[in-house]
Amino acid sequence: MTDTSTRQARIAWFERICGDLHERFVPLTDGEPASYIPELATVDPDRFAIAAVTTDGERVGVGDHDHAFTIQSISKLLLYGLALETHGRDHVLERVGVAPTGDSFNAIALDDDRNRAPNPMVNAGAIAITDLVVGATLDDRVEAVRSMYERYLGHRPEVDREVWTSERATGNRNRAIAYLMLSRGIIDDRVEQTLDLYFAQCSVLITADDLATIGATIANHGVHPVTGERVVRRDVTRDMLTVALTCGMYDYAGEWAYTVGIPAKSGVGGGIVGMIPGAGAIAVYSPRLDAFGNSVRGLRVFEELSDEFEMHVFDPDSPWRGTD
């Protein structure tokens, strides 16, 4: 077989694996869609997709892989990268640390010793990161965020206006976090504008295919797997992957690192993206969530894939080593 036919055979084989996993976990109906954001409570709970993109642009998609959903907290990882590129690591670390907390993602808690948010993957840290988005007006800052998404996706994403409105109307806990940080000098005084931007960044519509492309770009050290264009600096992706591994799965992050062992980020919209540096990314979408806010089916898919294919970054026999 030629190299091309061998690669195509491997992709077809992995697509069959994903198809089998999809079929196996379709009957799993544990969990419910997020209800604290009213618009998210109305989504079809039985949507289910698995998608993958390799660092050389090969794609796999099964189930509802082209169905649009809101990115929610997965946006935190991308905004963190934007902040690092715009302001530099030292400035960002003055506002947001990198330590896992063990607390829920919406905990009203700060790093009192350093007077900063604990990490960029919890809401406090994410709001502090969003505050760093440059722009004179809300529209300017929304466009800056959409332009960032466009570099990852290859197209300009839409914002789900209904979800954005719903998050504005119910986001009082995030307001409490933001005003606490204002009182401590962690964020600037345009609090309501920054919160509006935060709600907007979480309401961006993507598909599982999009999410796998985003993850593959980060796994490819910032180079888009299809276009070959640099989306984010190489050194920045190292920091993004590190916080994804240690903090990306809410207060389940420690368990995830132990059992699955790849950098990942989840969102309460039902998405999870897992990144294998130098190899590619896998995305799962299923809106039924567990008590931590992670997709129930998503967790099972990643657990199975990690175990079957030795994806854990510390597995001494991992076949993914040396693919960088």
Task: Give the residues across from 272 on adjacent strands.
Answer: 266, 284
DSSP-assigned states of every residue in 2-38 = -HHHHHHHHHHHHHHHHHHHHHHHTT---SB---SST
Q: Give the list of residues 6+ apart from residue 124 with CB closer than 8 angstroms, or none.
A: 107, 108, 109, 110, 117, 118, 177, 181
* Packing angle of the helix pair 75-87, 123-130 (nearest 10 deg): 40
DSSP 8-state code for residue 267: -
Q: At 80, list the tokens.
A: 């963190």
Q: What angle do CA 158, 163, 168 make, to 5 degrees?
A: 115
Q: Which of 281, 300, 305 is nearest to 289 (CA)?
A: 300
Residue type, 14: F
Residues serving a catalytic function are 73, 76, 198, 250, 268
Q: Which of 28, 311, 261 is nearest to 253 (CA)?
A: 261
DSSP SS3 for 271? strand
CB 178 within 8 A of CB 214: no
Q: Which of 278, 284, 324 is nearest to 304 (CA)?
A: 284
Residues 6+ apart with CB under 8 A from 133: 79, 82, 83, 86, 141, 144, 145, 194, 197
Q: Is 40 helix (H, G, I), strand (E, B) or coil?
A: helix
